Structure 1
Amino acid sequence: MTTPTPTYLAGEKQTLHASLDRHRDAVLWKLDGLDDEQLRRPMTPSGTNLLGLVKHLASVEYGWFVETFGGEAEPLWFGPHDDMRVTPEEPTERIVALYGRARAAADTVITRLPLDAQGSPPWRDITVSLRWTLVHMIEETARHAGHMDIMRELTDGATGDHPPVMGSG
């Protein structure tokens, strides 16, 4: 997890990318200090859990950034409707590592292409810009980070959208 750097005066692309990174880091922070049972514990009637949301975010990072803009995503071991479910055979480390690789692959696309670059997700008959995709993924990641914040609070009482800064009182 990286320490967020304020980008209050940065250009559009850097600002969007930093916003996405801030939410990505919050997603990973929500896992810190929890054991495997807590990460996999169903927290909603539909079975949503912290680790399942990380798995889902990994698959959508690959889809929206890599596949949409002509890249080759790594083959996933699960189907498109299984991305929010975690089986006992899926080690926590494997899912967290997948999210790390998906982020890195997405970052390569974000760095390489201009905001006006266009792509088409293979699962939909639309054309999108990298700018739209960044905004969409900020929304998607923030939405699920919020879900994770509630699940984390219900698990052990921890709250917040980022780790406390040391020495800040």
Structure 2
Amino acid sequence: MTKTVPYTGGEKESLHIALDRHRDAVLWKLEGLDDEQLRRPMTPTGTNLLGLVKHLATVEYGWFCAPFGYEVEKLWFDSATEDMTVSPDETTADILAFYDRARTAADRAIEVTDLDTTGTSWNGREVSMRWVLIHMLEDVVRHAGHMDIVRELIDGATGTHPAAG
């Protein structure tokens, strides 16, 4: 079932649920596709669904965990150049598990970090958890939109969230 942002919820709760609802949409965009379809480059730059999930996992760690001193999984790839590239030895299950671990770590960081707490981002800027939540909501929504288009090009499926059941 699609999560709904509470109409009168608190700031942190509302931002977190909004983020989670679009994270879930990202995973929904993968449903029913085989490995070849998930890896199929659909733009001249090679954008594919599985690469977008790998990127989103990387930035979950990079924005929610690293700036605030929380543990970050050791990456097996160069995050500056390979976070949207899925190599033949990386399985779909590997990438989905990576995304799940990153989301779980990010959720823990969100839960225990006050919105006004600041940390230092990868580019040296001081950022608050509030700013990171807003930034990541923007990033996930942007890439979920890319995934909408890529999925439609693959099999014609459209929609931003599963239909309410």
TM-score w.r.t. the length of structure 1 is 0.95
CA distance in 2, matches of 1:16, 1:9: 12
Unaligned stretches of 5+ residues in structure 2: none
1:9 Cα offset (Å):
1.1
Letter in 2 for 1:151: V
What is the match of residue 95 of structure 2? Answer: 95
**What is the identity percentage for the equivalent residue pairs of Structure 1 and Structure 2?**
63
Task: Give 1:118-157 correspondences, 5 Å limit.
Answer: 118-121=118-121, 123-157=122-156
For the residue of structure 2 that corresponds to 1:43, the secondary structure is coil
Task: Give 1:7-156 correspondences, 5 Å limit.
Answer: 7-80=6-79, 81-121=81-121, 123-156=122-155
| Cα offsets for 1:11-48 (capped at 9, x unmatched) | 00000000100110010000000000000000000001
CA distance in 2, matches of 1:134, 1:107: 11
Runs of 4+ in 1 over 6 A off after TM superposition: none
CA distance in 1, matches of 2:91, 2:40: 14
- Contact 2:2–2:162 (CA<8 Å) still a contact in 1? no
Corresponding residue pairs, total: 164
1:61 Cα offset (Å):
0.3
1:3 Cα offset (Å):
3.7
CA distance in 1, matches of 2:14, 2:21: 10
CA distance in 2, matches of 1:125, 1:39: 34
1:8 Cα offset (Å):
1.1
1:71 Cα offset (Å):
1.1
1:125 Cα offset (Å):
1.6
TM-score w.r.t. the length of structure 2 is 0.97
| Cα offsets for 1:39-71 (capped at 9, x unmatched) | 000000000100000000000000000001111
Letter in 2 for 1:99: Y
Unaligned stretches of 5+ residues in structure 1: none
Q: Aligned-pair RMSD on alpha carbons? A: 0.9
